[in-house]
Amino acid sequence: MRSDHKHFLVVGALTFLIVLVALFSLNSTLGSSSDPIPAPDFEAADQSGQNFSLSDFGGEVVVLHITNIESPLCVECEKTLAAQIGQLQQLVENKPDVKLITLNVRKNPFSKDGKSLSESWWNANVSWIWAEDFEPYNVAGKYVDYTNFEGGFSNPTILLIDREGMVAGVYHVYQLGRGEIDGIQDAQTLQAKVESLEKGEWAGMEGSVSIQNITFLGMFGLGVITSFSPCSLALLIAMFSYIMTSRRKRVLSDDQDYGSSSREGLLIGIAFTLGMALVFFVVGLFISNMGVFVRDSRFFDLAAGVLLVVLGINVFKPVGEILEPIKSRLPSRGEEEVFREKKGFMEGAVNWLMSQDISVLTGGLMLFVFGVGHGVPIIPIATFSRSFGGKMGEEYLAIGKWVVKFFGLMIIVTGLVFAARYFGYKLW
């Protein structure tokens, strides 16, 4: 077997192995948990301006009530929200020493606070700790895995936290568009559970938590996989052309050219990969700072699904041709601009979903790793000899036609899965 073919097989085998390990790592971190989990600590200020933290209540049982009460209020949700506030008021009256904290997650900064609205609308007597959390949701962002139920924000959600700071119970009371899930938690039941925790009679965790972690290795593997997508193939073709053209200009023989040319190619490949990774890093910083409401919006599932289906169809037959009768009547736009918008939105939307529930820096680093994986295939092609680089590039591009169709089909399937979530069919 020729050495060039051996090199190609070695590189291909290593890439395939990395992708398999990355996919296993990615899939092994998805799911839900019923084991006790430490409650994320947080710091906030109550309505009187007094600062407090969850750790201040160490050694005591805490009832954490996470909700969204503001103006305008969801009409569909009001009955449940009012009833749950009433039950919490009753709990405090029945058990004055209960440690109850309400965290009101606000989308509208111009609305009155939830405590004032509860007292005004429902004649509630809020005598417990009440804190407001605004964008970028430094507190609520730590509890997205708890307030999330099958891809949507549960409003309200109630957590029971034991003396050791572990989450002992998670109750998703209501979800917009779905209705009651665990239902209103009445005062008597909550009191009994709190007292059971105080006596040490509680075991395990009641309820479920949505855990959606993505590992750095998984992001790297995803980057490698998506480097074969239609949009990325076009970019890599441009890189191949640049590298091959650059090497044709040299008049040295293959033996003389190998050392310097390989070093030059390696630097080109690394520069290309790092440049792409830095772009993704900046995007990750931005998207990981988005609010929890955008992340948990059920409408986003539908919008993303429709967009992905359209992009998938576009792989087989340009949507511009399908919509030509309508498009001809509208103001013209450059095809290049449309292509940039579609590519940017698709990659941004897919990666955005994976960049939530983490710090801004971690979000940037995760997409940086994704970008490294996205650009890695170019490095061996740029590094090896001109003949090997050309052969590897030819092999890479030879499968392009089938890869494009495969990705088109996968994009359509992914879009249908996303859209199905809007109608209540949750496949993950």
CATH number of the domain enclosing 193: 3.40.30.10
Q: What is the DSSP string of 372-383?
A: HHHHTTHHHHHH
62, part of any domain: yes
**Pair 24, 64 in one domain:** no
Q: Tell me if 427 is assigned to some domain.
A: no
Examine the fold and report which residue of 212, 247, 277 is the final residue of a domain before the chain moves on. Answer: 212
- Check whether residue 234 and residue 178 sit in a common domain: no
Q: Does residue 428 form part of some domain?
A: no
The DSSP output letter for 151 is: T
Helix (H), strand (E) at residue 145: helix 144-147
Question: Mind listing the pLDDT tens digit for each residue in 9-40?
Answer: 554 555 555 545 544 444 434 445 556 789 99
Rounded Cα distance, 257 and 2, in Å: 20
Q: What is the pLDDT of residues 154-197, one digit of tens each?
A: 889 999 999 999 999 999 999 887 888 999 999 999 999 999 99
Tell me: do 248 and 384 sit in the same domain: yes
Mean model confidence pLDDT for the chain: 73
| Domain finish residue from 188, 212, 236 | 212
69 in Cβ contact with 117 (< 8 Å): yes
Domain assignment of residue 262, yes or no: yes
**Which of these, 232, 162, 198, lies nearest to 397 by C-alpha position?**
232
Residue 129 inside a domain? The answer is yes
How deeply is 177 buried, as exposed, middle or buried, from its count of CB atoms within 10 A (0-12, 13-18, 19+)?
A: exposed
What pLDDT was estimated at residue 415? 74
**Does any domain span residue 290?**
yes
Mark whether 263 and 319 lie in a shared domain.
Answer: yes
The DSSP-derived string for 170-229 is EEE-EETTTEESS----HHHHHHHHHHHHTT---S-BS-EEEE---HHHHHHHHHHHTTS
Q: What is the pLDDT along the chain (428 residues), one digit of tens a residue?
A: 455 455 445 545 555 555 455 444 444 344 455 567 899 999 999 988 899 999 999 899 999 999 999 887 777 788 999 999 999 999 999 999 999 999 999 888 888 999 999 999 999 999 999 999 988 788 888 898 898 887 678 889 999 999 999 999 999 999 887 888 999 999 999 999 999 999 988 888 888 787 655 566 667 766 776 666 656 666 666 666 666 666 555 544 445 455 566 677 777 778 888 887 888 788 777 766 655 555 555 566 677 677 777 777 776 776 666 666 665 665 554 444 444 444 444 444 444 434 345 566 766 777 788 778 777 777 776 776 555 555 655 665 566 566 667 766 777 777 787 777 667 666 55
Name the packing angle between helices 335-354 and 230-248 (round to 10°). 110
Whether 74 and 171 map to the same domain: the answer is yes
200 plus 245 within the same structural domain? no
Q: What is the pLDDT of residue 336?
A: 47
SS3 133: strand
**Structure confidence at residue 31 (pLDDT):** 45
Q: Do 135 and 205 fall into the same domain?
A: yes
Question: Is residue 41 located within the same domain as residue 10?
Answer: no
Per-residue CA distances from 41 to 47, 64, 113, 141, 142 (Å): 19, 12, 23, 12, 8
Structural domain contains residue 247: yes
The dihedral of CA 382, 385, 388, 390: what is its sign?
Answer: positive
Q: What is the pLDDT of residue 353?
A: 39
The torsion angles phi and psi of 210, rounded to 5 degrees, stand at -90, 110
Its pTM surpasses 0.75: no
Task: Record the tokens describing residue 146, joined without a space.
Answer: 């708890």
- Residue 204 sits in the same domain as residue 120: yes
- Sign for the CA dihedral angle at 283, 288, 289, 293 comes to positive
- Of 156, 190, 212, the residue at which a domain comes to its end is 212
Does 233 lie in the same domain as 373? yes
Q: 83 and 154: one domain?
A: yes
| Residue 292: domain span | 3-29+214-422
The tally of domains found in the chain comes to 2
Q: In this structure, is residue 240 part of a structural domain?
A: yes
Same domain for 24 and 45, yes or no, is no
C-alpha of 341 from chain center: 20
